[in-house]
Amino acid sequence: MTGLRYVYAVCRPLGAPLQAQLTGVVGAPVKQLPHHGLIAVVSEVPERDFAEEPLRAHLEDLDWLSATARAHQGVVDALTVVTTPLPLRMATVFRDDSGVRTMIESCEEHFRATLERLQGRVEWGVKIYLEAEQPQEATVAEPEPRAASGRDYLRRRRQQTMAREDVWEKAEAFATRLHEKLSAFAEDSRLHAPQNAALSGTAGRNVLNAAYLVPRAHSEEFVEVVDRTKDDAPGLRVELTGPWAAYSFAGELPQEGA
């Protein structure tokens, strides 16, 4: 049968073979496709799911999307253990091996430069959450259970708003400090949009969502720095994820600007 080729990542030839049982999207075995001194990590995917039309429809199906995203990430994750992969965006699909080779040829220079830059580095994700609403509001409101007048009511409202703003300001100040500290330690950093609580399934409001590029050799220290700050801010929660392949630092293709 002839399937399409799904490409997960491009990397330098591996010093070690891929785990024999490593499977990718739709459970297919993952293979290395060497070309011009680089390798593309690929697996076969059926045309009925990955041709343009069905792919577009699938991408709007949250269950399909998350299964595929996890499979993609699983392969990149396995590669991160043995090499420095350049992760491609999900659903990069070619007709056949020769299409993949042509792609390698046309992006060869960029791949090499990026591999050089990211070699031996991993990405760590740090998020700060503001835990559920603070009890301060209750204490502010308690002494006056009923507003005696419109003016009282407005004053109380203002106090509540100020208490809330205060919490926000503190959270922001903490986030800024932590980000400065981690940026100074890391080689590079990116600020991502705060995550939507419904999609992440995490409690609290996401106030910082950042990624840091750290040499693998310094990762342990980085983790310690994050760990030490964890208890510094009551009402805030610091979450660390990683080590990831350097997703957030690999994407700057010079295609448009240059």
Partner 1 sequence: MTTPSRLPEPYGPSSGANLADILERVLDKGIVIAGDIRINLLDIELLTVKLRLIVASVDKAKEMGIDWWESDPALSSRARRDELARENAELRERLARLEELEQGTGRTRGRTHPKEAS
Q: Which residues bind partner 1 (CB under 8 A)?
A: 4, 7, 10, 19, 21, 50-52, 55-57, 59-62, 65-66, 69-70, 72-74, 76-78, 80-81, 86-95, 99, 103, 107, 114, 125, 192, 195-196, 198-202, 216, 219-220, 223, 239-244, 247-248, 250-251, 253
Alpha-carbon distances of 141 from 68, 135, 154, 160, rounded to whole Å: 49, 10, 12, 8
Determine contact, residues 36/78, Cβ cutoff 8 Å: no
**In terms of CB distance, is 136 or 219 closer to partner 1?**
219
Shortest reach from residue 7's CB to partner 1, in Å = 7
**In terms of CB distance, is 79 or 163 closer to partner 1?**
79
**In terms of CB distance, is 185 or 244 closer to partner 1?**
244
What b/e readout covers 70-109, taking b as 16+ CB neighbours within 10 angstroms?
Answer: ebbbbbbebbbeebbbbbbebbbbbeeeeebbebbeebee
**In terms of CB distance, is 182 or 242 closer to partner 1?**
242
Number of CB atoms found within 10 A of residue 211's CB: 23
Shortest reach from residue 55's CB to partner 1, in Å = 6
**In terms of CB distance, is 92 or 183 closer to partner 1?**
92
For 5, half-sphere exposure in the C-beta direction (CA atoms, 13 angstrom radius) is 18
Shortest reach from residue 105's CB to partner 1, in Å = 12
Distance of CA 109 to the CA centre of its chain: 25
Shortest reach from residue 125's CB to partner 1, in Å = 6
H/E segment holding residue 74: helix 62-82
Residues 210, 72: Cα–Cα separation, whole Å: 21
Shortest reach from residue 71's CB to partner 1, in Å = 10
